[in-house]
Structure 1
Amino acid sequence: MRAMAAELIVFERDGCPWCQRWNREVGAVYDKTDEAKRLPLRRVNLDRGTAQGLRLDMPVRFTPTFVVVDQDREVGRITGYINDDTFWGLLGTLIAKLPPPVAESSVSAIQR
């Protein structure tokens, strides 16, 4: 049985000024953060496709929308972007809803 890791999915559109601002202020550094270790980033451009296989609580209508998914199910979302401080605070609240990560030694012991 394969465990499905939690991830942060950002839904964006071409030409979205708030998406561009998030990309400048947060997206440029996101991969270097502790949050990215827990929630790798996946991008979905609504102008070019959909996120197949996700069970979202409701459709994504506005961009940017950030959805935290665990086991292919929505844990929570942030709709819109105001500034980096607000984003990090809201993301921290969503991360707190996730079950604690399984330690590598526990995974190795289970697989044996």
Structure 2
Amino acid sequence: MPFHRFSPHPLPVRQLANIFTICYVLQSLNRLERAVKSLFAFAVLAFLVAGQARAAELIMLQQAGCEWCVRWHEEIGVAYPKTEEGRRAPIRFVDIAEPWPDDLGDIARERLTPTFILVEDGVEIARLRGYPGADFFWPLLGEMLEKLPTSPRM
């Protein structure tokens, strides 16, 4: 087999090219494997987060023109997602003038707004009709959250 006369390496140029090609393919496969592992990890994390988010949620029934709904949003709404209660039971807003959500089919509708319904896995756990003000809302919400079957200490 003839050697390239300018090659300092004892392997022929064609074999070197083949080795470089194989190395490139192996590196690409390694990158692909890491990407697939990362994608799999992301999918598992997303599944766990989605499952956790569905486990418990606080439904706030509201409607246009509801002064107490506006007051709740001003006094509690901004802070709620940042609280321990907000992480345990993320809030979801439902306008009672709109069609009732399909996933709340087993939850009794309400005409009074605001109404807060604690739901876990599609089952109503507790309900608070009206907004009693910030001083009373948090303790009442705490009582509602204590009724969750898997209620960790707060």
Q: TM > 0.5 between the two?
A: yes
Report the TM-score when normalising by structure 2. Answer: 0.60
Alignment partners' CA distance in 1, 2:65 and 2:99: 16
2:55 alignment partner, SS class: coil
Following TM superposition, by how much is the alpha carbon of 1:85 offset from its aligned partner in structure 2, in angstroms? 1.7
In the other structure, the counterpart of 2:18 is none
Larger RCO, structures 1/2 (Cα 8 Å, 6+ apart): 1
The Cα of 1:101 is off from its aligned counterpart by: 5.8
Q: Which runs of 5+ in 2 are unaligned?
A: 1-47
Structure 1 vs Structure 2 CA RMSD: 1.8
Task: Give the structure 2 partner of residue 108 of structure 1.
Answer: none
Partner of residue 27, structure 1: 77
Hey, what does 2:101 align to over in structure 1? 51
- Residue 126 (structure 2) aligned to one of 66, 72, 76: 76
Matched positions, count:
100
Residue 86 of structure 1: how far off its partner (Å): 1.1
| Among candidates 79, 85, 90, match of residue 135 of structure 2 | 85
Task: Find runs of 4+ consecutive structure 1 residues off by over 6 angstroms.
Answer: none
Query: Closer, same or farther in 2 for the Cα pair 1:101/1:91, shift >3 Å?
Result: closer
More helix by share: 2
- Whole-Å separation in 1 of the counterparts to 2:126 and 2:140: 10
**Paired residue for 1:105?**
none
> TM-score scaled to structure 1, two decimals?
0.81
Max radius of gyration: which structure? 2
Q: Secondary structure at the match of 2:118?
A: strand
Confirm or deny: 8 A CA contact 2:63 2:96 kept in the other structure.
yes
Which of residues 80, 86, 110 in structure 2 aligns to 1:36? Answer: 86
Which structure features the higher share of strand residues? 1
SS in 1 for 2:102: coil
> In 2, distance between residues paired with 1:95 and 1:101?
7
Match in the other structure for 1:63: 113
